[in-house]
Structures are given as structure tokens and as C-alpha cells.
Structure 1
């Protein structure tokens, strides 16, 4: 017996020794060396399986399952509890890249903490990994684009600086053995709407100058910063889908810029290659997948790469080409430490207490404060604590609006109403007044539902889609149904995340006769809603539409049986349901002297490829940038009531506010300010915080100042090419103090084209309050016909006490003087005279002159 036992132990020892001797298992080796060894041990089918975002485990080699899809646009997204910072466009408004870096250091802490927890539980699903598809550094060329809120504005330099801060915060110190998380620059390239036709749109006839001066610079900056992924866009560029564009991916990204890391497709973009209703540039998924890989794409979010085996069999691609992509993927996974023991990684010790920590909540508030952009103030601000005020508007008490899109879920969100009540210590009155676009004053009557003689609905769940057999959970719901499996949150204990169904039943007994409305929102799974056996919604409705409004007449005292059947779809399960009445809003502001009106739009209206069906919005884009008439008319009514109006605009894009500029006493642009937004807004309105946010986008006067949305030419767009005077210029933002630019000087009047040039500006806080100023430096080349009017090349957010002065130094590198060179077809510094403009806004600048030889 001893002999047998010793023999077995010897065999185990030999196996273990052999495993350790395999280079890919040796954590002391570099990621490249380990990846090269592991690549030789994979079969072709195994290699192909690793090239899709849902990558299966390969147990014989110890490769764990991995899902590449994760989000962290302004906090860890879609994975449950997380600190929610202001939306990206709001972070751009801070003009503080150091603050953005600090925020994303916190985001990557939370990301690692969540990953550590998921890993300990053996979970490897979507939104549980370490590879994040952020930042979005597309240029916000047109304010109608719904996804512009995800970007850092309309200026290439601002997008570059902010994007680099995000990458550095997510990926961690460059000298660390293991990268903290992997960032992803998206969407490459020439991509900024419209949303409704992005799967078939071809961005062709792009002026080379626009390509190199506007659409590419931020991506080049992030490549130089070592970003671990680049995501190619849905649309075509010059006839080819971006994910197979030889010019974008091979000629520029791989060969010219030397990018040797991962290129990933946008999700299901490969399907557009051969979908007859989309690009239809390829015959099949076989042709599409081969072309994409040969064009430089390594990883697919989708399943078309499953055709690569057939593509090899047909001679469309070689295994050697597959190896190049798999090598990059393996190297990335080794660089994360994702295939090593936890003890090997310094990031494995980050605990779950890092998520929603006190320090991170303070950072979210700091970023929200810094993003607040005061556009107008006739002296009404700051408000006195005892001022007679009322809070109104569709965004005043809406926490979800503040989260933006691609968001996590905070432990608490301070709405503007709550912020105002907190800072004043008073129960400030509140009236919604109107909705965003169409009056829909839905007053919930969910409390009038009962089941088995008890309040609420009875919910029964099955872990199958057909409600067969024994149920797995029963619960009573006494508040409106609002369920989602986002963040791996189950509908009820014991219910699976997928493949389940539910039945909700109750009796509705109205307290007044009238027309009642049921609001239902689901994913694209099965749904059927009936009243007294009459079906109002059923599964015959297909497609993207998933929001339903059903009405029925009901008499006081009678009872009506409500039944809602639901079966989860194949993605994140979602179900919300309520019953109530539509009533007129109260718009009388009463005795209040000041109305704090919190309006604008919302992420439910502008966003990514959305099934929005309200006037003025299409697929998540806006057809008009005007403030919706519903709100505009109410503001006029409030002015007619003799009220002073402090208008707080919440949006992820520019809103045309020319009429409001004439009737409102103050206008504060609050963006989608995240979980602490209400506190930040209140602190600005009441003077506890001196605002210094700046516009990262031009606020046009009205629709007439906008070119055709489908025209990708930069002519007439953004502050760099606009010929008209906007309502509020790029870089504009007011303070409760004033700053004087007393003097400025260059260290020389002429220099060689490759030299650094030093600029010194003497700045004084001439007011009576401490405050921040954003010093902005723009450059234009004299005689550069067809070039930008001016372009941002440097900025610093500076804090100055009242009455204090400070010298602000800038080093302008050769990159600051680069313009598009017609001869080389690239960006270059060319001899000539340059004007250096400086000041606190793009429309209020002083200038110096420099000659480059």
C-alpha cells in the first residue's frame, strides 16, 4: 500500500513539475514570451474560440473562461453597485485632466475589486472582466448626435488630453508587472452619428484635412499612450466597413502608428458586413470574418468569427494570420494576470470595500462641482439661504437622468430637489410643471392593486420560459414593478438570471371613475398584458419596440383583474410595470420670488440607437436642438407670473437656449452630473462653490446654425470652423469672481520648427472671492486658408485666492504647431507666422505672435 501511495505521489509530482516547466505557466516570464509558448499548444479551433468576446475555457491548458465585454464610461458600468461620476461630456467641462485621472484611478480600483469578487465566485460573465470599452474619443461634431454625451466634446486636443487621462487611470502605472485593467479607444474612426443609419452609413468624400486634423488626433494620442484596445466603428469609411478598412486599420493604425495591440469590433458589427439591410459588402459571414482579420481585427464582439474555420478550409485566410490575432489576445490576458494565481497580482488585494467608498463618493462630488458650467448670471446668483424659492421642472427630482448612459448603480443619488432642500435646511416646495417633450403626468395608482385580499401584485417565478412545473419563487410587490438582471441581479431569490418566466396577478379597484393607463417596459422577451381576460399587449409585437402604454376605462368601486406574463429574452432581462392616471400639471409657482427650473432633456431621449418615439427625436438622435416647446412655454408662463428664473439645463449635448437667454435670470449647464449632481448644483446656486466649468462644445443659437447632420465636412462646424456667432462659445463659463490677464510673453519671437516655445501668462483674481480660472491657449497659422479659425493647444485649471496673482507657464511643443500639410498629406510643423491666443474663453482672447523657421 505504501509503495502504491509513494508511486502516486511521485507521478503527481512529476506532472506538477512538467506543468511548471511549461513556459506559459511560469509567472516570472514576460507576457509576450508566455503568450508565444501557449500559442503553439492550441488547436486551430481553440484559437478561433479565443477570438470572440465570449471566450470559453480550455481546461486542458488551464485557460479560464473570459468575457471581454465590460464598460466603464464614467464609473464601472452595468455591474451593480458603483460610484457614478458625471457623464463624460461633464467631465470634459471640468477642463481638469488631473481630476479625470484621479476619477479613473478610483474607477479601476472598483473594477479590480469587482473582478476579484467575481473571480472568487467562479463567475466570468459579461461586465465581470477587466477589459473596458472606454473611452469614447469620437469628435462631437454635431449636437444632434445622441452619443455625443459619451465623448469629451468637439475639440480634438481636449478629447486627446481627457482620453489619455482615462487610459492612464484605467491601466495603472506603466512600470507595474500587471496592467490594472485594459482601456479601449472607440469608435475608430470618422464616427459621430446619426444613430438610426449607423449600420449602413458610409462616411465617404472626407476631406483629408478633416481626417487628420479632426477625426484622428485623439486616437493617435491614445495609441501613443499605450491603450490596450482600439474598437472599430459600425459605419463604413470610403466604402469599406471600418472593421475591415485597410486604410484605417492597416495603413494608418498598424503600419504608420505602429499599433501592436488588440483591435476589437463594435458589437455585432460583423453582421453588418453581410446583412442585406446593412452594409452588405460581403457575401457571407465566412467572407466577412476572413476579411476583417486580414484587415487587422483580432477580436469580435459577436459570433461571426466562428466562420473562420470554414474560411481557412476555403483558402480565404491562413492559420498564420489567425495566430497573429490570438498572440495579441493571449499577451493581453497574461499582462492582466488573469491566468495567474491571485497572489501574483498587486491588484488582487483590492477589497470590495473600495466600491462606493467614502473617498470615491467625495471624488464624484468633486467632479460634479468642477463640471458645473455657469452660462449666464444677471446678479440673481448666488441665492440667499432664506430666498423665497420653488423648484420645478422635469429633471428636478429625477435621479436616473443624472446617471447618463453606460452607467453603474450608485448607493444613493442626490437630486437637485434634494440638494436644494439639504443646503437650505427647508422643505422647499416642488412642482414638476411639465415633462420633457409631451405632457404625461402619470400619477401612479399601484397602491390600489391587491391580491388575495392583501395590497400589491402576487409574482410567481419559474426557471423555464414556459411557466411549467413547480415555481421557484413567489413574492408580493407593493410598489411599481422595476426589475432588471443588470449587474447579475436576479428578479427574486432562487430565480435564474436567464431562461426564466414570471406571472404577475392582482385586482385593481379604482377610487374614481375615468381612463386609466398601464405603462409596461420590457426587453425583447415574451410579454402579455391583459385586463379581465382582454389582451392589450402580446408577443406578436416584434422588433426593438419594448415600451407600451395601454389605456382602459374603469368605474369607481368595480374590480378589474390584471395579469402580466413575462419570459426573459436572450440578453439582460428588464421589466417595469405601473398603473395610474394622466392628469394635468400644476404650473402656478405661488408666492415664490425665484423659480429654480431644472429642465433640458434626458438619457432616455438621447443615446445609442434608441427606440424613442417622441417628436424631435429619432433613434436616440435629436432632430432639433431647440429646448422642447413644452418647457419653453412653461418658462414663458413663469416669467409672466413675475418670477425670477434660475434655469438649470441637464443634457449631454448643446441645447439652443436663445429665447431662454432673454427671459432667464441665470442659466447653469449641469450636464448629467452623476450621483452627487444635486449637491453640486445646490452648492453653486447658493454660492458654497464658485463655478468654473467650461463648455467643451459650442452652444449654437438655433437649428439654422447647423449644417446637414449627414455631412461629415467640418466646414461651418464647431468653434474651429464656425463663421456665425454662437449663443455661448466653446470654452465659455462664468464665475462669481473676475480674472485679469495682466500680461503675457513668449521666451522668443522666432524659433525653429522643431523647438519648444515657452509661454508665460500673468493672471490675477481681481474679485472678492477665491475661484478657479481655466486658462486656454489657442493657435492659428496666419494665411492658412481652409484651416481652423483657431484650435485649442493647451489649458490649465488654476485656483487663485481673491486678490492674488500668479504666473501660469506653458511649454508649447512642436505638436502644438502642427497643421495639415498638403504636400505630405499628414500633420506637420511648417514654417510661417503663428498667432498664439490666450484667455478664459474661445471668444475672448488676447494674442501674441511667433515666427517659425
Structure 2
């Protein structure tokens, strides 16, 4: 076997619609990772081999193999492993429409992963979330706003998703494919986007057209352009075959047609699901055999333990297991898991790089670029200095709406309330929570309802023991009890795995009525035992939980507004991840409080939307408008709608800031609010980004990566994966806000469209350009978008995004922006799922949004001939 092989070094070219595409150059290198992997696997016993096909791979001391858990997350920052830079949720990153930003975010994610990996040391055991195999990005198509995990994606468009994925993957893996900084794992291949309640066993009968036109292009780009070294297969089945056992998908399409050379990992327990929910095989021995023969190399879970039985019964050959293990160990060698004799520049990455000042600045930049201005009547924004602002709404001051899901722990998060105080001055900001996220969904008790002596909040006493004995290690006032302490200590000089905290002070009810008090603890899902918590009101224990999974709530009737003594105790000795002291307060009391705050202000900023408590992965929630992590209604929840209407009655200018992971039908706000800003789940610096945008320190330039529909009944059935009637490409109605939409504090104009040719032979590339001018009096970012209109056919989308570029223009600056469109961008898909460049008359639109929704210019051209393109 030749132990020399080409090494691919990446260089960046600005082509393909202005996004980063990486071109390969070959140079020789040694040693060969696959050669080493083959030799190592040959020394293993069958039992040892099978142990290494499961994600929590144990050590093999006799062979010098350290234990390695393949499961690490890095969707928008290294997740679930202590402090990390927490960037905006993926849907917010997509709203930037900036591949270069995604590359820098990916680089930060893998740099911090390396820092944590290095802290354990090369050649040592690495536990879950501590490795270099990062199960991100999620590039499923966000086909329906009801899907709770859509927030993890880059939106509804295959091309935008694919190009952002290419850049994020490059950032994760770095420039040297023979020694990546980390390995990216685009997921979940393929046709997987809810509903969450049936995700473990649903079967999709997707049409060949939709499969090729919508569901696979982003994955193809991630492999053929992004060169991802890993892929995760999905839970669902396609036409009766579970994806993780689909050889036509994993071997023929992925490995043969797309040239994928890496390893495939199952979604967690997907192989077990093949037995339990798909009923594909009668037992895990046969399901495991089917999966590994189809190409699934690694099982997230332990179903592959039954491969031992599968080999003995003849369901699978040991050579198939050897081939899978060779791919897995080749990846571990590429990552330099056992060290590289001091020549590894990554080995010098230390923990000082985690959430460093430079990374925090990038988090702020990412949050700023994600802001999408949806309405700005009468020039309401930006606010002028010296204004008194009323800050109202359930999302104004919560940690969870900064961090979203699949997140790390933010070291110094800035909520919108804190950001506005920092920017405008605390004396000019008044605050009222106003409402919960939705009826029956508790939110953190706000600072306005907690008091200790002369300060807002509760007195926290932090002990380095579990029985509150002796003098506290730390005493401080905590403004709210809303903490993420996943793998971190609550204070310096304390252990992360052993402490107790007692908070005490007064609860100040805003009015009489029934109050539901609640304690929320993010439970570790695979550990033994949970953190005990106790809550006392006026010395009476109202919640006493010794660590089980029962709801931790108590309802009290309060007849007056006298302060009540409150005490909360938490004992932490396991792997639970923090604590929130929450409530459901009487609606009328909160509305009255919001109305009074609005009356005293010059303008009102209402922070409304959703939260990771109501939209997310397989959640245990069943509230009006929500089910299992998905939504049943895309409207703003009723409780929040009422508070908007109440504060609008004050007559003060009303600015609505939407914080969510998906589109919300803000019909009332569009009709009555003066301005609307979409801020998504904006990460650790999100509150400061919102404040700087509202103040005009930053001119918003983000664009929507999804369509905002007006009502749920405009959508096809959620369970249907047919694309007709979905997304900007196939929706025939009038959306509330279209895909690609976003306003600015300045104005951009387009002129002088040019094509490299008005008649094109099928299979050739085409260059299109236009002049863009900033006509306003302040600098800003424009996202130049290119849409193709193909000849009419029954299947043709309304428009297809084929190029985009985010450009910064000073006031009165003019720039010519060019896009080179490859044959694939000029292609269409036929009813049989074949992609072709076909003869006919075509139209290109270059502008700040879709044709008909924005300013722009158009040009037409003709394609002659026919060119079939590979899948």
C-alpha cells in the first residue's frame, strides 16, 4: 500500500455568487492516516472492534488507544462543556447572509474545541463534549415555521443553506485537510424537519423532484465544496427504508456520486429506532447489521453492541466492521489525537482562547449582522439620545433567549435590558415584564419583584459544601435567579461539581391574585440523580424536590401587595446545569404594571416572541399553540398580544423586538407598531447588539432567511414533505415578510445590469453584474441578491436564489458587484429528479430582495442546447 498521498490545502476564491469556495491544490504528505488505521484495527479482537463502533468508545490500554467520546456539539459555539463564546443561534447567523462571518464563527468554535481538548491532553481520555468531532452544522431545510428545531438551521433556501454550510465547515476544519482543527458533521441526512413528536419513526415518501430540488443540494455542497469529513444520518425513513440503513443514499449517492471519503454517524439512538419504531428489523443485531452494511460507521448509542451477535449469526461480515473502523480511526489520526511530536500548531491553543476578548467582539459583530429591520414607520428608529425608554416584555431580560439551544455557557451575557441600560443610561430605562411567553409557561421572576434590603434581587450565599455549614465562600446580591452553570462553578474559587446556594429576600407581588411559583433546573439527561431544591415563602416550604423529574411548582393566592419572605435553596452534587426561579403572575397585575411604565416613557420597546422553553427538540410541553417542541399556531401567543395592545394604548411610539428561532405572524404589530426588529436568539452579546441597533450606532443589514407567513392556515399540512405551497419558491400567497427581506437606515439603488452573454450554450457559466449605490446619508450593509426565473413549467419555483453578497457602502458610495454563475446555478430539475441545464428564455434579477419585493434590475438571456448534471 502506498503510504504517500496527496494533501489538499485550501485557498479562497470569490466566485459562485460571491461566496467563499475552496479550491484544492495537491502536495505530498506522510504518514498515511488510513494505513495507520488499518494496522491498528488489525490488532483488535472482534469485541474490541465492536466497542469502537459506538460513540462512547472505551480505551484499549494494550494498544495505547485512549477512550474517546465522539459526541461534541458546536452549532453556534462549543456546547455543553462549560464556558464558551455563545454566538447567535444558527438561524440568526443565517440572517447575516455573510459566509465570511460563518467561516470566522466556525474557526472560533473549533479553536475553543481545541483549547478544551488540549486541556485534557493528546493521548488522554476525552469524555463527551470534550472532543474534536463536532456534530454541526444542522443544514436541514426549514420547510415549515412550526418545526421547533428550525432555529438550528440556516433557513428555507437550499442555496443559501449550502453556501453558509460550506463556510462554516471550512471554519471548523481549517485549511489543512490532512490535519483539521476539528471535524464538522453536517446533519441530518436527509429530508428531516419535523414534526418532533413522530421523529423517531416517520417515513417520508418525498417526490424525486423535491428530493433533488430542495432536500439534497445543501448536503451536496457541504461535501463537494465544503469537504466535510463526517455526516450524520437522520432518524426518519425514506420510502420505507430508515436513512441510516439506506445504502442507495449513504453509499451510492454520498460516497460514490459525491465523493465523500469520511465517516457517517447515526443520529442518537437512530439504529435502536430502526427496531423499536420503524419495525425495520426484529432486533438490534439485524438493525445494526443493516446500518453498518449501508455505510453507517458509528452508532450514537449502544445498539451496535449487538454487532457481536450479528457477526456470529452471519448477518454481517467482520470485514464490514473493519472498513467502518478504518474510517473512524483514520479520522482520529488526522485530528492528531495521539500527538504529533511537537509539530502541531493546534497544540499551543490554550484555555485563554475560550471566550477571549476577540471572540466576544466577534459574537457582538455576529449579533449585529443578524439584526433584521422589518418596519420603520416615520423614521422612528434610530432612537435619539436622552429619550426615556420603557422596556417591556417576557424576553427583555432572560438568559435562555440569548443562549437558545445546543449552547455553551456564556461567561458574561448581556440581556436586552442590560444592553439598553448600558447604552442609554440606567436612569433612562424603566422595565416591566408584562406577560409570560405563553399561557401556562413560567418565566423567570423579574428583578422588579425581588428585593433584598435596598437592592433589587435576592441575597445569595454560596457554600463550598452540601449542607450550608460554616461561612459562605461568597455572598452577593443576584438581580434575578436565572443561571446557566453547565460544567462551571457559580463563582470563582468554587468547585463546579459540589456546592450549595441559598437565596433569600422578599417577593414583591405587582398585584393581588393567584401566583404559580416554579423552579426550573436543566436536568442532565443521562446521569444518576439530580440536584435537590427547596423553596420557602414566609418560612413555609412550598416546593421540596429531592432530585426527581416531577414538576416543581406551587400555586399561592396573594390577596395584597405586601412583601413576602422568600428563600430558595439549591444543592448541587451532580451534572445538572443551573437554576431558574420562575413564576406565572396574574395577567391583570402584569398588564397594569406594563401600562404604568409605558405612560412614563417617551417610547416603548417591547421584547416579545418565543423561547427555547416552547420551541426546540422534543420538548415536554403542551401549552396553547405549542406541542412537543413544535408550534401548532404561528401567531404571537395571546398573552403577549394582549400586552402589546395594552401598551400601544398609551399612544407612545412602539418598537417591537422579536426574539425567536422562527417566523412569527406579527400581523397586529405590522399594522400598529411604529418599528419592528427581528433579533432572533442573539447570543451572549445580543443585548448590546440590540441596543446599538436601536440607537443607530449600527445600521441593520440582516435579511430574512425564512418567509414570514400571515397565518397557520396558509400552510400545507405539517406532516407533508411536499414543497408545493412552502417557502418563497413555491408559496403563491402574499407573505407578511418575504424571504430575503430587510430594511436599513439608509437607501440603496441599483442600475446598469450587465451579462457576459445574452445567449449561452448549456453547460457554460454566466457572469452577471450591477451597480449598487448608497443613496442615503449614513453608511450601511446591503445584501445584494440574485434570483433566476426559469421558463415556466408545472414544477418551476417562482424564483430561485443563485447568488448573494453582503457589501458595506459608505454614504453616496457606488460599487459594481459581479457574480459568476456556474451551470448548477442555472439548472432546473425535472419530474424524475434529474438536474439539467435546458434551453429556453431566462431572467435574472439583481436587487436587495426578491423580484417585486425590492429595488433591483433585471436582465434576460437565452440558453441553447441541453446539459445533464450529476446528482
TM over 0.5: yes
Shift of 1:258: 2.6
Aligned to 1:699: 708
Shift of 1:473: 13
3-state DSSP class of the match of 1:597? strand
Distance 1:64 1:122, change over 3 A: closer
Aligned to 1:333: 332
Task: Give the whole-Å Cα distance in 1 for the aligned partners of 2:541 and 2:403.
Answer: 38
Task: Give the whole-Å Cα distance in 2 for the aligned partners of 1:352 and 1:159.
Answer: 31
Q: Deviations for 1:181-226, whole angstroms, at most 9, x for unmatched residues?
A: 000010010000111111122112x111100010000001111121
Match runs of 1:362-401 below 5 Å: 362-378=361-377, 379-401=379-401
Distance 1:448 1:728, change over 3 A: closer
Task: Give the whole-Å Cα distance in 1 for the aligned partners of 2:778 and 2:757.
Answer: 35
Q: Verify: 1:573 aligned to 2:560, yes or no.
A: no
Distance 1:817 1:203, change over 3 A: same
Shift of 1:792: 0.3
Q: Does the aligned pair in 1 maintain the 2:460–2:501 contact within 8 Å?
A: no
Aligned to 1:344: 343
Match runs of 1:719-734 below 5 Å: 719-734=728-743
Q: Deviations for 1:436-481, whole angstroms, at most 9, x for unmatched residues?
A: 11385746898899xxxx987897967xxxx9xx999998988687
Task: Give the whole-Å Cα distance in 1 for the aligned partners of 2:736 and 2:508.
Answer: 50
Q: Deviations for 1:64-100, whole angstroms, at most 9, x for unmatched residues?
A: 1111110111111111111111111111111110111
3-state DSSP class of the match of 1:429? strand
Shift of 1:259: 1.8
Q: Deviations for 1:237-258, whole angstroms, at most 9, x for unmatched residues?
A: 2112221123322332123223
Q: Deviations for 1:583-626, whole angstroms, at most 9, x for unmatched residues?
A: 52212212323101111111221111111232211111111110
Task: Give the whole-Å Cα distance in 1 for the aligned partners of 2:503 and 2:62.
Answer: 53
Distance 1:559 1:93, change over 3 A: closer
Task: Give the whole-Å Cα distance in 2 for the aligned partners of 1:848 and 1:676.
Answer: 42
Q: Verify: 1:609 aligned to 2:618, yes or no.
A: yes
Match runs of 1:260-299 below 5 Å: 260-275=261-276, 278-299=277-298
Aligned to 2:31: 29
Aligned to 2:238: 237
**Bigger Cα displacement from structure 2, 319-328 vs 576-585:** 576-585
Q: Does the aligned pair in 1 maintain the 2:751–2:857 contact within 8 Å?
A: no
Q: Does the aligned pair in 2 maintain the 1:369–1:689 contact within 8 Å?
A: yes
Q: Deviations for 1:731-776, whole angstroms, at most 9, x for unmatched residues?
A: 0111111111112011111111111111121111112222211110
Distance 1:510 1:50, change over 3 A: closer
Shift of 1:483: 7.6
Distance 1:57 1:472, change over 3 A: farther
Shift of 1:407: 0.9
Aligned to 2:46: 44
Consecutive unaligned residues of structure 2, counting only runs of 5 or more, are 1-28, 865-871
Aligned to 1:687: 696
Shift of 1:518: 4.5
Distance 1:310 1:840, change over 3 A: same
**Bigger Cα displacement from structure 2, 648-657 vs 580-589:** 580-589
3-state DSSP class of the match of 1:230? strand
Shift of 1:339: 1.9
Q: Does the aligned pair in 2 maintain the 1:137–1:185 contact within 8 Å?
A: yes
* Structural RMSD (CA): 3.4
Q: Deviations for 1:331-353, whole angstroms, at most 9, x for unmatched residues?
A: 00000001224613221011222
Task: Give the whole-Å Cα distance in 2 for the aligned partners of 1:778 and 1:511.
Answer: 56
Task: Give the whole-Å Cα distance in 2 for the aligned partners of 1:145 and 1:751.
Answer: 41
Task: Give the whole-Å Cα distance in 1 for the aligned partners of 2:566 and 2:654.
Answer: 45
Distance 1:508 1:93, change over 3 A: closer
Task: Give the whole-Å Cα distance in 2 for the aligned partners of 1:510 and 1:852.
Answer: 72
**Bigger Cα displacement from structure 2, 728-737 vs 488-497:** 488-497
Q: Does the aligned pair in 1 maintain the 2:409–2:486 contact within 8 Å?
A: no
Task: Give the whole-Å Cα distance in 1 for the aligned partners of 2:506 and 2:841.
Answer: 79
Shift of 1:39: 2.0
Shift of 1:388: 3.5
Q: Does the aligned pair in 2 maintain the 1:287–1:316 contact within 8 Å?
A: yes
Aligned to 2:188: 187
3-state DSSP class of the match of 2:380? coil
3-state DSSP class of the match of 2:363? helix
Aligned to 1:839: 847
Aligned to 1:548: 552
**Bigger Cα displacement from structure 2, 839-848 vs 282-291:** 839-848
Among 749, 761, 779, the residue aligned to 1:740: 749
Shift of 1:381: 1.1
Q: Deviations for 1:508-535, whole angstroms, at most 9, x for unmatched residues?
A: 9999999775423343646686989999
Aligned to 2:868: none
Task: Give the whole-Å Cα distance in 2 for the aligned partners of 1:559 and 1:389.
Answer: 31
Aligned to 1:404: 404
Task: Give the whole-Å Cα distance in 2 for the aligned partners of 1:761 and 1:669.
Answer: 29
Match runs of 1:30-429 below 5 Å: 30-119=32-121, 122=124, 124-174=126-176, 177-204=178-205, 206-224=206-224, 225-275=226-276, 278-341=277-340, 343-378=342-377, 379-427=379-427, 428-429=429-430
**Bigger Cα displacement from structure 2, 162-171 vs 374-383:** 374-383
Task: Give the whole-Å Cα distance in 1 for the aligned partners of 2:517 and 2:712.
Answer: 36
**Bigger Cα displacement from structure 2, 806-815 vs 128-137:** 806-815
Q: Does the aligned pair in 1 maintain the 2:753–2:857 contact within 8 Å?
A: no
Distance 1:493 1:283, change over 3 A: farther
Task: Give the whole-Å Cα distance in 2 for the aligned partners of 1:783 and 1:447.
Answer: 66
Distance 1:553 1:388, change over 3 A: closer
Among 595, 617, 629, the residue aligned to 2:638: 629
Distance 1:704 1:231, change over 3 A: same
Task: Give the whole-Å Cα distance in 2 for the aligned partners of 1:778 and 1:707.
Answer: 25
Distance 1:528 1:280, change over 3 A: farther
Q: Does the aligned pair in 2 maintain the 1:373–1:669 contact within 8 Å?
A: yes
3-state DSSP class of the match of 2:310? helix
Match runs of 1:508-547 below 5 Å: 517-522=516-521, 523=523, 525=529, 547=551
Distance 1:124 1:237, change over 3 A: same
3-state DSSP class of the match of 1:763? strand
Q: Does the aligned pair in 2 maintain the 1:148–1:652 contact within 8 Å?
A: yes
Q: Verify: 1:799 aligned to 2:808, yes or no.
A: yes
Task: Give the whole-Å Cα distance in 1 for the aligned partners of 2:819 and 2:354.
Answer: 37
Task: Give the whole-Å Cα distance in 1 for the aligned partners of 2:244 and 2:848.
Answer: 40
3-state DSSP class of the match of 2:843? strand
Match runs of 1:747-758 below 5 Å: 747-758=756-767
3-state DSSP class of the match of 1:185? coil
Q: Deviations for 1:552-587, whole angstroms, at most 9, x for unmatched residues?
A: 57999999999988885xxx4246364889452212
Q: Does the aligned pair in 2 maintain the 1:95–1:774 contact within 8 Å?
A: yes
Count of residue pairs the alignment pairs up: 803
Shift of 1:694: 0.4
Among 781, 791, 794, the residue aligned to 1:785: 794
Distance 1:637 1:187, change over 3 A: same
Larger radius of gyration: 1
Distance 1:792 1:123, change over 3 A: same
